[in-house]
Chain A
Amino acid sequence: MTRPVASSKRSTRLVRIIGVVAVVSLAATVWLGLWVTPPDKTQGQLVRLVYIHPPIAWVALYLAFGTAALGSVLWLWPRTRSRFWDRLAASAMEVGVVFTALTLVTGAIWGRPTWGVWWAWDARLTSTALLLVLQLGYLALRRVPGDADARARRCAVGAVIAGVDVPIVHFSVDWWKTLHQGATVLNPDLTPTIHGIMAWTLLLGFVALTLVFVWMLMVRYRIQVLSEVLEGAELEMALHERWAEGAPPDGHGATDAGPVAVVDEETPAQVGSRARGEQPAELVP
């Protein structure tokens, strides 16, 4: 039951175009952000980080996590269930982790000269850190071996649980900081006033990073499709081999001849072990 693996010429070209535009716009943002735009009155040169940090944060929290959560919900809802949503959610979450981690790093880099410390338990950093852990949890759940549908279901529910948590975390951490009466001088507002070319650069930054995300999402989605099909094919071939050998009289005792399917290049470790792991389960009556 090998599903077709081909990707249309049109979609490959679309991905390529998006990639090129993404790179160009990102380069333009960097150029404008680092050189062309003027420094801010209050924050000086530091304001330049505003062209990349907020866009990265927006991608991480809303675009990536939002897509993953939406995909999970749509997969869970019987009327819209389709492999597409599950794959989309998985891809978005993985790309999201990269962006979330980057949000934390750029946030810390912005915070250091502003506050004097690398890490401050301020509302935004803390919620973002928690978001990162939630996303990593999802990815860990994703790695759990099992059949695709069960895994999809687990992860989808996991994503919804985490997704519902995000606003709650935001509120609680926010109150945590603001209701705290002995609050230190912390948190001079990180958002400066933006106007003119700064505004355009900021907008470009958002566009550029969104495009980068979209490109990554599409490539990651393709990877997801391919690896799922491959693990299915590998399992099939492994089963064929077993049947070809003829089932040994003592069924379970047989050691895994192992999937010899795809030979020299290493298949993703989890795919291989999953096929090996699942083998006895399938054959034991």
Chain B
Amino acid sequence: MSYINAGYSIALTVLSAYAGQLWWRRRRLERLAARVDPDANR
């Protein structure tokens, strides 16, 4: 049974971690973009 828990945990952890990384990358790039092109309407 511990295998199942391990499996689920790993899957969820990896997905959340990657999702978080994506979200953070997007946020950082949005901020940079706003600086370079501040007239872009949000």
Chain A residues with CB under 8 Å of chain B are 2, 4-6, 26, 30, 33-34, 45-46, 48-49, 52-53, 56, 95, 98, 101-102, 105-106, 109-110, 112-113, 212, 215-216, 219-220, 222-223, 226-227, 229-230, 233-234, 237, 261-262, 265, 267
- B22 and A220 contact, CB distance less than 8 A: yes
Which of A4, A98, A237 has the largest count of B CB atoms less than 10 A from its CB? Answer: A98
- B35 and A262 contact, CB distance less than 8 A: yes
* Bound: A109/B8 CA distance, A: 10
- B29 and A33 contact, CB distance less than 8 A: no
Q: Which residues of B contact A6 (CB under 8 A)?
A: 40-42
- A109 and B33 contact, CB distance less than 8 A: no
* Number of A-B residue pairs at CB separation under 8 A: 97
* Bound: A30/B26 CA distance, A: 28
Interface SS of chain A: helix, strand, loop or mixed?
A: helix
Having A4-B40, A6-B42, one finds 7 other A-B pairs with CB under 8 Å, namely A2-B37, A52-B11, A98-B18, A212-B19, A219-B19, A219-B26, A223-B29
Chain B residues with CB under 8 Å of chain A are 1, 3-8, 10-12, 14-15, 18-19, 22-23, 25-26, 28-33, 35-37, 40-42
Which of B3, B12, B14, B42 has the largest count of A CB atoms less than 10 A from its CB? Answer: B3
* Bound: A56/B25 CA distance, A: 23
- B22 and A30 contact, CB distance less than 8 A: no
- A261 and B18 contact, CB distance less than 8 A: no
- A109 and B6 contact, CB distance less than 8 A: yes
* Bound: A229/B34 CA distance, A: 12
